[in-house]
Structure 1
Amino acid sequence: MNTHSPLPALLLLQLWVMAAALNQEGVLLLRAKGGFEIPGDSLADWKSGDPTPCNWTGVFCSSGAGGQPTVTKIDLSELNMAGPFPAEFCLLPSLSFLSLSFNYINSSLPNSSVLPCSSLTHLDLSQNVLVGALPSALSSLPLLRHLNLAGNNFTGAIPDSYSLFPSLQTLSLTANLLNDTIPPFLGNISTLRQLNLSYNPFAAGPLPRQLSNLTNLDTLWLAGCSLTGEIPPELGRLSKLTNFDVSSNFLTGEIPDALSALTSVVQIELYNNSLTGRFPAGLSNLTALRRIDASMNHLSGPIPDDIFSIPLLDSLHLYDNQFNGSVPTTAAMASHLFELRLFGNQLSGPLPASLGINSPLRFVDISYNQLTGEIPRAICGGGVLQELLLINNYISGGLPQDLTRCKTLTRVRLANNLLSGEVPAGIWGLPNLSTLELANNSLSGSIPADIAGAKNLIKLQISDNQFSGNIPAGIGSLSMLSELSASGNRLTGRLPESLRVLGELVLLLLHKNFLSGELLTGIQQWKNLTQLNLANNEFTGLIPSELGDLRALVFLDLSGNQLVGEIPIQLQNLQPSQLNLSDNQLSGSIPPLFMNRAYQNSFLGNPSLCRDPTGNCLSSINGARRGRSKFFWLLRSILILFAVVLIVGLSFHRYKKRKTDMAKSGLNNSDWILMTSHKLGFSECDISRCLQEDNVIGSGASGKVYKVVLGNDEVVAVKKLWNSPDMDAVAALGKIRHKNIVNLWSCCVERDSKLLVYEFMVNGSLRDVLRGGKAGALCWGLRLRIAMDAAEGLCYLHHGCHPPIVHGNFNSNNILLDADFGAKVADSGVAMVVDGVEKSPAFMSVDAASGAYHPPEYSCTRRFNEKNDVHSFGVVILELITGKLAADTEFGENDLVNWVCSGIQQNGVKEVIDSRLDLCNKEEEITKFLSIGLLCSSFLPMSRPPMMKVVKMLARLMEHS
């Protein structure tokens, strides 16, 4: 008797029947799905049991031959899929639309894969990580009208065959790694309407005149393409052109008058070139033109009157040029103008009196010029003004009363002018105001109670005016306030008790006023406060011990008041880069940790303050005891005299020895400036003795690094800078405290020596480890943790500092490892310190020594922002994966990013992974890690994620590691 149940066989038969029910197109789609790594259940409804795939996610069908549904469209964009290009899709006979954009398609695109796609009219593979050469076979697809391969890593030249597209209307190759010149034969694609080639590292070359043959073109986007020479006047023949962008190139010469023939143009982008001469007149004929941006060039002469006669003009950017003369009166007649940015020129004279009456102005920035006259009364006449920026001019008069009705204002920056009179009360309390900067004027009056209405105020800068009266209690209701700068005024009265609750406060600067009363206590909510300056007022009473609990505080100045009592011992909890309690009436002892050279001037002008480190003062607050016998007085005098002689002798001996040490180390202690942000147990002399070549542990673009072992066995790293540092920048860097950023402890500066003292990291730099004997110790988990640590440090600089700090020289040499291989970011903003450039929140100049990490656009702009740091971080990830250094000579004229892309194209992901890594069950995780690295190092800046997002991506990866 057969005891086996027939059920399993029936189940197998049923499954076979279900699979057999799925049509051939569904089978092809399932085969393609099998080649992807798909997070979550994005394609969970792709099931073999369905008779047709027409109801599957991303699949669309139409009636085919015999009325049977057939797949005509596939849209699987933004599903975070990873894997090679699915050639099976091209076997679908009726497929006309295919979009796989914003995924992680990480293979090459061979001709054999795309040739069968003969029915395609729309192919979008943008924002992936495709590598290799552009497939030449695409031009053989007879129906193809839209081709978007932007945001990948394609290399080489645009194939010659692309001149043969029979029907192509859109060609977008933006943000790849194409490195030949822009070919003139693109002018042969007569059907082309949109040509987008921006942000590729093309070889320097001219803008091809042949593109003027594309008479159907409506979009020409060639930003960041290394274009040189002049703008061809023949482009004026493109009468259908609506968008013209040749920004961020190396174009020279004058703007051709022929641009006035672009009768359909809506947008002209010429910014960040080297264009010269006058701005062309005659643009008033361009009736469709809305936006002109010719900023960051070398244009000169007056701004043409007729530019404001363009009927639909809504945005004009001419900033950072050399325009002179006045702002044309016609600017007041531009009925659609909402954005006017003319800052950084040589404009003079008054603004048009009626500016704003006829225009819906939202953004006005004419800062850094030589404007005179008054602020136009009706500049907010359109009722939508959000930003009014006129800093650094010679504008006089008062603030217009009409601004009190401008409820849309968010930023008002009028500092460094000649403004006078009282500020209308309603301006103080504008409900959407986030920034009010009125510093360095001659404004007067009091701060009214109306300020309580400015619930969104973040920054209030009114220093160096003539404001008087009390600080109103209502200021405590501004819960978002991070900066209150009101120094150099005539403010009186006590600090309002309500200031205590301002938990977002970072800067409180009220020095040089007439404020009185006792300092506030109960200030525990000031956890974010970094600078407190109440100097040169009339404060009395004790120094609150709670100040020692404000761990973020690095600048404390209470000098020039009438404070009494002892210095709270709790202040030793701080790490101030500047401490000034001088010129008060303090008594008692100086806390021991402040008894060093760094604070030698911090306590002057307090006659009753004990300066003896032992606390045994010869003159105490009680004075010398009277009634002692003359014998004891004489004996004490003799002992004092003996002690003085002994001290002088020892000091002379120490001086001679110190001079000898200085001579050996090349240092002179005649004029040291010491700034500290750490409790120091050493002096600059202790450091100088150790600056010997035997102690050198590294050398970089900004200086040479020494390992210094101090007398107390403390080990520090000392960077001897090549150039003089910006001391304000040093102070700013000394305030940075994060677990993944190397702490800057102090700065010692003398005429011939500039030293930065850092905490010492035992395992050196990541670069040294990768190229040295310790590389084998870096297992997969350790490499991922190093990347996470470095990402968190860089994220803090970008998103946790105010203003944000751009590292500017991020690379594996500036990632230092502690004893447990925990990573910290070093040299944070040192390029800013040594260059002495203006410290913008977004940009700063850097040394070009670390070119292997620099993004492609750096060669054009020579400027750095957060996106450039992200690119450098992506390169570091590739170093961690490959075990190779970005600056390895084996790459020749290539770079690590291109090498990785080429390796993946030729041999797959395994080819580029460090052979020292154990891949056991980790290849999928490493592939995702690689995708993050390639995403961060994308050619197009806008494709690079912010560091906050990078940290989240790495955190998700670590959860599954």
Structure 2
Amino acid sequence: MSLFLLLFFCSLSYVASLPSDAEVLIRVKNAQISDPNNRLSNWVISDGHDDHHGDDSLPCKWTGILCNSNSSVISIHLRDLGLSGEFPSGFCRVRTLQNISIADNYFEGAISMQSLSLCSQLSSLNLSSNNFAGKLPGLSPEFTNLYSLDLSINNFSGEIPASFGNLPALRVLRLFGNSLTGSAIPEFFINLTELTHLELAYNLFAPSEIPPAIGNLSNLQILWLTRSNLVGKIPDSICRLKSLKNFDVATNSLSGEIPRCIGNMSSLVQLELYENQLSGELPETLGDLKNLLFFDVSQNNLTGILPEGLASLPLMSLNLNDNRFHGKIPGILAQNRNLYQLKLFNNSFSGELPADLGLNSNLEEFDVSTNKLSGKLPINLCHNQNLGQIIVFNNNFSGDFPESYENCSSLAYLRIHYNNFSGEFPRGIWSLPRLYFAEMTHNRFEGVLPPTIANAPEVTNLLISRNTFSGKLPDEICRLKKLTVLDLSSNQFSGELPKCMTSLMNLQTIDLQDNMFSGKFPSNVNSWIHLTELNVSRNQFSGEIPSQLGDLPVLTYLDLSENSFSGRIPVELTKLKLNKFNISDNNLEGQVPWGFNRDFYVYSLFGNPKLCSSDLKPLHPCPKPRPISLYLITVLGVLAFILLSSILWLHKTKLQASSVKLNKNCRYKLTTFQPLRFNEQDIVPHLTEKNLIGSGGSGQVYRVMLKSGQAVAVKKLWGGNKNSDMDLLFMSEVETLRWVRHGNIVKLLFSCIGEDFRMLGYEYMSNGSLGDILHGAKSARLLEWPQRFAIALGAAKGLAYLHHDCVPAIVHRDVKSNNILLDDEFMPRLADFGLAKPLLRQNSLGEEESVMAMSRVAGSCGYLAPEYAYTLKVTEKSDVYSFGVVLMELVTGKRPNDPFFGENKDIVKWVTERVLDTVDLERTNWIVDPRMNASTCNHKDIKKTIDVAILCTSSFPMTRPSMRRVVELLRDNTTTTPNVK
């Protein structure tokens, strides 16, 4: 008995000597956690407090601590508190602890198996969205109670430890968003028979197949394997997973047919198979999935028809785009009450759309472009007033455009070009309040542009060419202050242009050719500072050509031909840096100005009988001046000889100083992409040290003045051997830019290939790059907020053009402030397309094949999307992330990896953390670039711009907006008026 009493009192003494829960928590806080925002400020033990005899419930009142009814700590929940440090393994010394979550913080470093072994009593452990690195720690056999393990969105690498297969209670395993290698689904996973959630997406796994034994995991509800480098076929055994609700294997290299037994997976709610290499037809058994709401098989090689059974399901989203489907769209699809997203574009569907489509559902996104559809559009597409976009271009639709769309107040994006629509275009559509993009070219519409167009102030692009619209252009068009592209060409418009059009300061393109406009052209055009293209050819304009056109800073395309312009050619036009110039077939007279008195321009001057030139034939020679004295001729001859000798001597000196030597045996291949008149001899001798304006990883950039007076930027790439890395960059840039035409993308003027070098010539941007302005040599010319916003919006439009309007779509892959160039008026041009890639291309058989998988990481540090480094697969969402970084640069004025942010932090984490900590940016001016004049800063608009940046830099690509959406958000979420004067 005495021995028993001795042991009893000894145990009581041991228990009494153990530290309390509060003491353990305080020790861990002080030793293993950094709390810069003081979010754990209430974790304190007051002076004089005796934890062993005082209030045992003290920790239960602390931030993030949850206790049971006995006041014992059972959960530590410290999610998203801005904490950092190493893995706080000391928490596991709390004897009653069951759950730890430190997700969405900045913890880092490796986690050893030894430190994790302290936590074997846990039921759940969540370390997601931190900066942990190194190999995944093994788990000892003592983890018998662990049912949820979340290590997602970190930097873990290496293979998944085999010990993960010895967790008998594990139901939830999340490892997505790391850099894990090895097999995506190791064999030992099959032992985890209790698993309900297996989420392994976005890792750098080796090519591996879905094992047939996957069917043994009968309790699985979520199987998420997006971008997991899966190959081979989807095994039939997958059909045994009757509890599976979400099956997502998108963006892999899966091939073969969709298993016909898939109808057995009766619990499926979401089926994501997009962006693979699947073939064959859609199984009829898909119609048995009565719970299916989301179905996406886009970007595969699927054929056949859309099965009636699938169309009859209560789907919310149906995405079949970019396949080879054909046949009619089943009428039963129109009975769906859930459908909000329908994307069938880039297929061969034919026949008419179901007449009641949209009547029963809240349709928001509708894209059936590039098919063989015909008949009339359904009149009820916007019945429930949620439709944001109608995209039906490249089909055979005909008849009247439905008048019912006049009431579609939600409509923002309309693309119906290349169809056979006819009749009067509904007037009410012109006044939809959210409409910003309207493209209806190549139809047979008629009618007028009504004055009610003033009620659509958001319109930026109005493209209605190749129709039979008529009448005068209403003065109310001048109310469209955001208008950037106006294309009314090939219609029957008449009358004079409204003089107020000169108030549309954002115009970049005006195309009025092939109409019947008359009268004088507006003269006060100085406000068109962004105008790059003006085409009014084949009209009836009269009067003099406005001399103010010569003052437009970025005008490069001017076509005034086939009108009745009279008077002299304004000498001011010679100041323009024109790639296209045509004033032929008018009534112009007098001597051709010296700047146009060259053979290159002769065809642009034809058809003006009263023009004269002493040099250009067949123009009439100008009257000879009165004869001068023999003495004066002699003096002028001597002066001319001296001048010529001096020029020849200077030219010889430049040739000797040139960094590229010319000789008779050297061969060049010069290709021009714009109408410029020069040869390699006009370029190469000027690539000297004094003309050097920049040097980068791919080569050196020079400023060269052509004989025409135009300045060009010439990039001479390092090296130049065929098939070298630099040669590949050269070819990529040429192939990308030779066809691109957009006001916010730099123009490629020419390329030149020599035996030992490669050169590219671009329009010269006098203000350098945005990076120079924000961080570099030109930072003295700092931009105020309205200019910065104009740069952001312009660059966004350029990227949106690449992603959504190019065929195939183009991914830039190196979006950064140094690759956004600024012209004389600080308007942006995206540049440096050496890393750009098309998302899809056609092989020799005319089949589309993916080119998104890259052999190496490309891009710039600080701008790379987190998934890019470990997937090596490119999507447009990688560009969106980089653009979000640029937005943050514009607001903060700081580099992406500025030392100011502290160790292991970049601009994304720093800005995101600060925005989460405050609502009022105006009182936290240290976020906004202090070099900006405070009076120009609209802090409400800046806050909204930062919100867009945070959306763009989301950790997950699927949650980032498209660049088209980014343009909408920037335009809609700001009251700042861009002004770059």
TM over 0.5: yes
1:355 aligns with 2:357: yes
861 and 815 in structure 1: CA distance in 2 versus 1, 3 angstrom threshold: closer
- Structure 1, unaligned runs of 5 or more: 1-21, 738-742, 766-780, 818-823, 875-912, 914-918, 950-961
Displacement of 1:603 in angstroms is 4.9
Give the equivalent residue in structure 1 for 2:925. Answer: none
**Counterpart of 1:402 in 2: which secondary structure?**
helix
61 and 495 in structure 1: CA distance in 2 versus 1, 3 angstrom threshold: farther
531 and 315 in structure 1: CA distance in 2 versus 1, 3 angstrom threshold: same
444 and 28 in structure 1: CA distance in 2 versus 1, 3 angstrom threshold: same
| Residues 542 and 564, structure 2, Cα contact 8 Å, conserved in 1 | yes
> Partners in 1 of 2:245 and 2:137 — Cα distance?
29
Displacement of 1:465 in angstroms is 0.9
Give the equivalent residue in structure 1 for 2:667. Answer: 666
1:389 aligns with 2:391: yes
| 1:643-682 pair list within 5 angstroms | 664-667=665-668, 674-675=674-675
Give the equivalent residue in structure 1 for 2:814. Answer: 810
The structure 2 residue matched to 1:685, chosen from 671, 681, 691, is 681
> Partners in 2 of 1:481 and 1:206 — Cα distance?
52
| 1:798-947 pair list within 5 angstroms | 799=796, 801=798, 803=800, 808-810=812-814, 828-830=832-834, 851=857, 853=859, 863-867=874-878, 925-929=902-906, 941=957
Give the equivalent residue in structure 2 for 1:717. Answer: 715
| 1:474-489 pair list within 5 angstroms | 474-489=476-491
**Counterpart of 1:158 in 2: which secondary structure?**
coil
| Residues 672 and 750, structure 1, Cα contact 8 Å, conserved in 2 | no
Give the equivalent residue in structure 1 for 2:342. Answer: 340
> Partners in 2 of 1:939 and 1:521 — Cα distance?
51
**Counterpart of 2:541 in 1: which secondary structure?**
strand
Displacement of 1:218 in angstroms is 1.1
Give the equivalent residue in structure 1 for 2:329. Answer: 327
Equivalent residues, number? 818
Displacement of 1:514 in angstroms is 1.4
Displacement of 1:102 in angstroms is 2.1
Give the equivalent residue in structure 1 for 2:434. Answer: 432
CA offset digits 1:663-684 (Å, max 9, x no partner): 5331367x866556xxx9x854
Give the equivalent residue in structure 2 for 1:756. Answer: 760
699 and 250 in structure 1: CA distance in 2 versus 1, 3 angstrom threshold: farther
| 1:554-569 pair list within 5 angstroms | 554-568=556-570
Displacement of 1:136 in angstroms is 1.4
Give the equivalent residue in structure 2 for 1:770. Answer: none
**Counterpart of 2:350 in 1: which secondary structure?**
strand
1:278 aligns with 2:281: yes
> Partners in 1 of 2:120 and 2:210 — Cα distance?
33
CA offset digits 1:321-369 (Å, max 9, x no partner): 1111121222223333222211111112222233333443332211111
| 1:223-302 pair list within 5 angstroms | 223-302=226-305
Give the equivalent residue in structure 2 for 1:58. Answer: 64
> Partners in 1 of 2:597 and 2:172 — Cα distance?
72
675 and 797 in structure 1: CA distance in 2 versus 1, 3 angstrom threshold: farther
> Partners in 2 of 1:71 and 1:401 — Cα distance?
66
Amino acid across the alignment from 2:666:
S
941 and 611 in structure 1: CA distance in 2 versus 1, 3 angstrom threshold: farther
Please identify, of 41-50 and 440-449, the stretch whose mean Cα deviation from structure 2 is larger. Answer: 41-50
Displacement of 1:792 in angstroms is 12
| Residues 337 and 362, structure 2, Cα contact 8 Å, conserved in 1 | yes
831 and 735 in structure 1: CA distance in 2 versus 1, 3 angstrom threshold: farther
811 and 519 in structure 1: CA distance in 2 versus 1, 3 angstrom threshold: closer
> Partners in 2 of 1:164 and 1:700 — Cα distance?
52
| Residues 673 and 750, structure 1, Cα contact 8 Å, conserved in 2 | no
873 and 473 in structure 1: CA distance in 2 versus 1, 3 angstrom threshold: closer
Displacement of 1:189 in angstroms is 1.3
1:162 aligns with 2:164: yes
Displacement of 1:450 in angstroms is 2.8
**Counterpart of 2:277 in 1: which secondary structure?**
coil
**Counterpart of 1:532 in 2: which secondary structure?**
strand
Displacement of 1:304 in angstroms is 0.9
**Counterpart of 1:151 in 2: which secondary structure?**
coil
Give the equivalent residue in structure 1 for 2:447. Answer: 445
Displacement of 1:279 in angstroms is 0.3
Displacement of 1:150 in angstroms is 1.1
Displacement of 1:542 in angstroms is 3.4
Give the equivalent residue in structure 2 for 1:28. Answer: 25
> Partners in 1 of 2:595 and 2:38 — Cα distance?
60
Give the equivalent residue in structure 2 for 1:19. Answer: none
541 and 835 in structure 1: CA distance in 2 versus 1, 3 angstrom threshold: farther
Please identify, of 270-279 and 523-532, the stretch whose mean Cα deviation from structure 2 is larger. Answer: 523-532
Higher relative contact order (CA 8 A, sep 6+): 1
Displacement of 1:727 in angstroms is 8.8
| 1:288-687 pair list within 5 angstroms | 288-310=291-313, 312-568=314-570, 571=573, 575-586=577-588, 603=605, 605-606=607-608, 619=621, 664-667=665-668, 674-675=674-675, 684-687=680-683
| Residues 474 and 498, structure 1, Cα contact 8 Å, conserved in 2 | no
> Partners in 2 of 1:709 and 1:697 — Cα distance?
10
| Residues 321 and 344, structure 1, Cα contact 8 Å, conserved in 2 | yes
Please identify, of 287-296 and 796-805, the stretch whose mean Cα deviation from structure 2 is larger. Answer: 796-805
CA offset digits 1:613-662 (Å, max 9, x no partner): 99xx9955xx567xx79x999x99xx99xx9xxx9xx99xx9xx9xx979
847 and 194 in structure 1: CA distance in 2 versus 1, 3 angstrom threshold: closer
CA offset digits 1:141-185 (Å, max 9, x no partner): 333222211111111111111112232221111111111002122
| Residues 811 and 837, structure 2, Cα contact 8 Å, conserved in 1 | no
Amino acid across the alignment from 1:346:
S
> Partners in 2 of 1:379 and 1:332 — Cα distance?
10
> Partners in 1 of 2:347 and 2:458 — Cα distance?
32
Give the equivalent residue in structure 2 for 1:889. Answer: none
> Partners in 2 of 1:287 and 1:358 — Cα distance?
19
Amino acid across the alignment from 1:499:
M
Displacement of 1:709 in angstroms is 8.1
Give the equivalent residue in structure 1 for 2:106. Answer: 104
CA offset digits 1:882-907 (Å, max 9, x no partner): xxxxxxxxxxxxxxxxxxxxxxxxxx
Give the equivalent residue in structure 1 for 2:772. Answer: none
> Partners in 1 of 2:521 and 2:851 — Cα distance?
41
> Partners in 2 of 1:239 and 1:93 — Cα distance?
39
Give the equivalent residue in structure 2 for 1:957. Answer: none
Amino acid across the alignment from 1:370:
K
505 and 393 in structure 1: CA distance in 2 versus 1, 3 angstrom threshold: same
| Residues 397 and 419, structure 1, Cα contact 8 Å, conserved in 2 | yes
Give the equivalent residue in structure 2 for 1:6. Answer: none
Displacement of 1:835 in angstroms is 11
> Partners in 2 of 1:946 and 1:37 — Cα distance?
36
> Partners in 1 of 2:326 and 2:221 — Cα distance?
34
| Residues 577 and 731, structure 1, Cα contact 8 Å, conserved in 2 | no
Please identify, of 424-433 and 74-83, the stretch whose mean Cα deviation from structure 2 is larger. Answer: 74-83
> Partners in 1 of 2:46 and 2:876 — Cα distance?
52
1:221 aligns with 2:198: no
| Residues 129 and 152, structure 1, Cα contact 8 Å, conserved in 2 | yes
> Partners in 1 of 2:754 and 2:309 — Cα distance?
55
- Structure 2, unaligned runs of 5 or more: 1-18, 50-57, 656-660, 721-726, 770-774, 803-809, 822-827, 843-848, 886-896, 913-951, 968-981
Amino acid across the alignment from 2:450:
P
| Residues 820 and 831, structure 2, Cα contact 8 Å, conserved in 1 | no
| Residues 239 and 264, structure 1, Cα contact 8 Å, conserved in 2 | yes
| 1:742-781 pair list within 5 angstroms | 746-747=749-750, 755-757=759-761
Amino acid across the alignment from 1:337:
L
869 and 393 in structure 1: CA distance in 2 versus 1, 3 angstrom threshold: closer
> Partners in 2 of 1:386 and 1:939 — Cα distance?
27
Amino acid across the alignment from 1:335:
R
> Partners in 2 of 1:760 and 1:439 — Cα distance?
33
**Counterpart of 1:106 in 2: which secondary structure?**
strand
Give the equivalent residue in structure 1 for 2:52. Answer: none
